[in-house]
Amino acid sequence: VTAGAKGSRERWRGLASTAWTFLAAAVGGSCLLLLGIPGGMLVGSIVAVAALSMAGATVFRDARAKQVAQVIVGTGIGATLTPESFALLRALVLPILAAIAALVLVGLLSGLVLARTTGLDVATAITATAPGGMIEMVLVSDAVGGETPVVAGIHVMRILAVLGTLPIVLALLT
Amino acid sequence: MTHAGLVALVICGVAGGVVGIRCRVPLGGLLGSIVGAGGYQLLVAGTPALGRSFALVAQVLVGSLVGAAISRPMLRTVRSVIVPALVFSLLMPAVGLAVGWLLMTRVGHVDLLTAYLSSAPAGAMEMSAAALAVDADAEAVLAAQVLRVLAIALVGSTLFPIVIRRLQCGRPPQVSE
């Protein structure tokens, strides 16, 4: 088998995994959306792709996809901007900063409890429970000698818990 | 808004996103495309545009990325701490709801849905996509989420090493057998 043929096969495999990942996400999301579950498209997509991944199928993981998603979400938000948006943001700066301070405090306390109850080292526990971005906290954890795979795993669980409970919270709030 | 206007809006969004990514700005794709599409929106279009279908595509993409992060090896890694980690993970939406209600609705006077999506600690892109889907105030949600990520990255890289070192000094040294 020539290197060219091998490369071509790899490319087709990559395309196929991309196609079925997005197809599964669209089908899963549409099902929950049709059932009238709030935030169903997002949660259904997560559940469908997670099920594929857990079943051992090769799912699409590419850093560029995250950038594409950022551009689509950003364009969607930019399209809703009005002059009034800036006045609202000015009014929200203080409450947002206070909310962040509260989340940091809860994260630190949770980290200490996690370290006490599980025997995890403090560096791992605190960076795992800090409510910041996953990539940033994994980098901080690495710098302070934490176990980065555990930190990444707990951050994924936190994001999943927030997004997984979204339909319930939305149903309660709307 | 005309079809040509919509195409121009999307081109501005994509161009802004590409610039943000190329300049290596944190969350550059997200922030750059807001500047691009938002600039066009404010300067040229005037009326909010892009429908629900756009938000649905965004949710499928974001959902795929989050779902793909879940795997058997990932679960094996956190198996030893799964129960406390689950408790912590479920505590966070509750804290987000409480903080959102107390600070954002009482002090900031935004609706409770926007307040929750702003305060719940998941990713900036994920919560913004959810805000677009449920007609919450997506700009407020994004501003709160980006500020959270930046603030905690700052606190994490400056204060956490000091706190962790102090806590580690207070513990008896581990004796290996």
What residue of B is the nearest CA neighbor of A72?
Answer: B58
Inter-chain Cβ pairs, chain A and chain B, closer than 8 A:
394
Q: 0.80 cut: is pTM over it?
A: no
Mean pLDDT in residue range B126-148:
85
Spatial distance between the Cα atoms of B75 and B81, rounded to a whole number of angstroms? 10
Spatial distance between the Cα atoms of B149 and B22, rounded to a whole number of angstroms? 20
* CB-CB under 8 Å, B163 with A108: yes
Instruction: Indicate the range of A97-111, B4-18, B153-167 predicted with least confidence.
Output: B153-167
Q: Which of B59, B80, B110 to mutate to test the interface with A (most CBs of A within 10 A)?
A: B59
* CB-CB under 8 Å, A92 with B140: yes
Residue B176 pLDDT grade (very low, low, confident, very high; cuts 50, 70, 90): very low
Q: Which of residues 28-57 of B touch A (CB under 8 A)?
A: 28-42, 48-50, 54-57
Contact residues, chain B, for A78 at CB < 8 Å: 9, 12-13, 16, 33-41
Q: What percentage of chain B exceeds 70 in pLDDT?
A: 90
Phi then psi for residue B107, to 5 deg, are -95, -45
Phi then psi for residue A121, to 5 deg, are -70, 155
Instruction: Indicate the range of A111-120, B55-64, B106-115, B167-176 predicted with least confidence.
Output: B167-176
Mean pLDDT, consecutive 10-residue segments, chain A of 174 residues? 75 82 92 84 88 85 78 83 78 84 88 88 91 81 85 87 86 80
Q: Give the pLDDT score at B18.
A: 94
B44-73 pLDDT, tens digit each:
866 656 666 777 888 888 888 888 878 888
Contact residues, chain B, for A80 at CB < 8 Å: 41, 48, 50, 132, 138-139
Q: Which amino acid is at B96?
A: G
Q: Which amino acid is at B40?
A: Y
What residue of A is the nearest CA neighbor of B161?
Answer: A144
pLDDT above 60 (res B175): no
Residue B151 pLDDT grade (very low, low, confident, very high; cuts 50, 70, 90): confident
Contact residues, chain A, for B14 at CB < 8 Å: 71, 75
Nearest CB to A69; choose among B18, B65, B171:
B65
The CA-CA-CA angle for residues B62, B122, A25, to 5°, reads: 25
- What angle in degrees, to the nearest 10, is found between the helix axes of A83-118 and B138-169? 30
